[in-house]
Amino acid sequence: MKLAQIVKSHRKKSGLTQQQLAELAGVGKTVIFDIEHGKNTVQLLTLQKVLRILNIQLLCQSPLLTEPMELF
């Protein structure tokens, strides 16, 4: 599942509209639209704000790490 689908699914399960999520995250509604449509123009720190509201964690995996590391 792609991040765009995960964000949209979590938002809907939380009972939030795009506008409500945007307000909670302190971003514009177009940012939520862009994330949910997989646009790669969203800044990482902005994405982080949205993911925190939805309680979504991003993990980094690398052959150099012994275990996945949480990004935020």
Instruction: Identify the H or E element spanning 5.
Output: helix 3-13
Q: State pLDDT tens for residues 13-40.
A: 999 999 999 999 999 999 999 999 999 9
* H/E stretch holding 3: helix 3-13
Dihedral (C-alpha) 8, 65, 67, 10: value to the nearest 10 degrees? -10
CATH number for position 29: 1.10.260.40
pLDDT for residue 72 is more than 80: no
Q: How many domains does the chain have?
A: 1
Q: What is the pTM of this model?
A: 0.85
Q: In whole angstroms, give the CA distance from residue 26 to residue 49.
A: 8
Domain, as residue range, for 36 = 3-70
Number of residues in the chain: 72
Terminal alpha carbon distance of the chain:
20
